[in-house]
Amino acid sequence: MDYQTLTFDVTDGLAVITLNRPDKMNALTTQMRAEIEHAFTEGGKQARCVVITGAGRAFCSGQDLGDGGTAAAMDLERTLRDEYAPMLRAITNCPVPTIAAVNGAAAGAGANLALATDVVFATESSYFLQAFTRIGLIPDAGGTYTLPRQMGMAKAMGAALFADKISARQADDWGMIWEAVPDASFDAHWRAKAAQLANGPTAAYAAAKTAIRESWDNSFEDQLSLEAREQGKCGQSRDFKEGVIAFMQKRPAAFEGR
């Protein structure tokens, strides 16, 4: 695909997607959603970790209300079903670890785009905003699913109803994201953590993602069975053998990934 709204780079097993509409605070358009979907699909095939971040002063300000005409003319149900849902599935179904490196404002669907990834890092100056009720809407782009699971019911309900800004530090303290990072060290920090995942045991990461996500719908007994099944697969991998040998030899493991 010839990307127009983002850049896509794969180096040393790490795919970096950079939303690239800085003049519009990386607001989401029909084209951008299709490109994000494609980039995560390709990243899952070509890399061992995929990162999404934003160019300029924002991560993503949410839906571009001027995309394709006036906001009042938008068919929101169709847009969510046919454009947002495929993009979000590409992120959540990505077989390798995914990271959102939130470098500024993450508002509306932009906030929930970030929260759809496995791990979120954010600059301390960043914020998250469920802005939907400000224009008479409900959280979408998966927000009603991810928010209560990551923040708990009370915080999720307040975020949805009041539409207040949530600072990166608050988001960190509330369990909404993995880590708020000082702005000055942000780029080096997320790149180092992404490189760690890109050099890690890819199959084990995929199994961990599956097990953790399916736990919400499983009974305890079902989850124990799932753990045993996935661990059995991991135990037969070359990465497991290498990990044990490296541990015994007191050296870093050289995982092969897929």
The pLDDT of residue 14: 97
Residue 258's pLDDT band (boundaries 50, 70, 90)? low
**Amino acid identity, residue 9?**
D
Using CA atoms, how far apart are residues 150 and 177, in angstroms rounded to an integer? 8
Read off the pLDDT of each residue in 140-151 and give the average, rounded to a whole number: 95
Read off the pLDDT of each residue in 31-58 and give the average, rounded to a whole number: 97
The pLDDT of residue 205: 96
* Average pLDDT of the chain to the nearest whole number: 94
Query: Which residue spans within the chain are E strands per DSSP?
Result: 6-11, 14-19, 49-54, 58-60, 98-102, 105-107, 119-123, 127-129, 165-167, 179-181
Is there a contact between 101 and 51 (Cβ–Cβ < 8 Å)? yes
223 exposed, middle or buried (CB, 10 Å; 0-12, 13-18, 19+)? middle
The pLDDT of residue 74: 75
pLDDT > 70: percent of the chain:
97
Question: Which residues have a Cβ under 8 Å from the Cβ of 207 and sit 6 or more positions away?
Answer: 230, 231, 233, 234
Q: Is the pLDDT of residue 250 over 70?
A: yes
Assess whether the region 6-198 and the region 202-248 belong to the same CATH fold.
Answer: no
Residue 75's pLDDT band (boundaries 50, 70, 90)? confident
Q: Is the pLDDT of residue 79 over 60?
A: yes
Read off the pLDDT of each residue in 67-86 and give the average, rounded to a whole number: 82
Radius of gyration of the chain (CA): 19
Total residues found in the chain within this entry = 258
Burial 59-73 (b: 16+ CB within 10 A, else e): bbbbbbeebeeeeee
Beta pairing, strands 14-19 & 6-11: antiparallel
Q: Looking at residue 14, what DSSP letter applies? A: E
Is there a contact between 242 and 253 (Cβ–Cβ < 8 Å)? yes
Q: Is the pLDDT of residue 257 over 80?
A: no
Burial 171-188 (b: 16+ CB within 10 A, else e): bbebebbbebbeeeebee
Q: Is the pLDDT of residue 70 over 60?
A: no
Helix count (H) and strand count (E) of the chain? 11, 10
**Amino acid identity, residue 73?**
A
The 10s digit of each residue's pLDDT in 192-226 is: 999 999 999 999 999 999 999 999 999 999 999 99
Beta pairing, strands 98-102 & 49-54: parallel
Cα–Cα nearest to 193, from 51, 44, 12, 18: 51
What architecture is domain 202-248?
Answer: Orthogonal Bundle (1.10)
Residue 69's pLDDT band (boundaries 50, 70, 90)? low
Q: Is the pLDDT of residue 78 over 80?
A: yes
Is there a contact between 93 and 87 (Cβ–Cβ < 8 Å)? no
The pLDDT of residue 93: 95
Q: Is the pLDDT of residue 85 over 90?
A: yes
Is there a contact between 122 and 75 (Cβ–Cβ < 8 Å)? no
The 10s digit of each residue's pLDDT in 30-39 is: 999 999 999 9
The 10s digit of each residue's pLDDT in 11-27 is: 999 999 999 999 999 99
Q: Is the pLDDT of residue 72 over 60?
A: no
The pLDDT of residue 105: 97
Please state whether 213 falls in left (phi above 0), alpha (psi between -120 and 50) or beta. Answer: alpha
pLDDT > 90: percent of the chain:
91
Residue 96's pLDDT band (boundaries 50, 70, 90)? very high
CATH classification code of 6-198 = 3.90.226.10
Domain boundaries, the chain: 6-198, 202-248
Assign 32 to helix, strand or coil: helix
Q: Is the pLDDT of residue 189 over 80?
A: yes
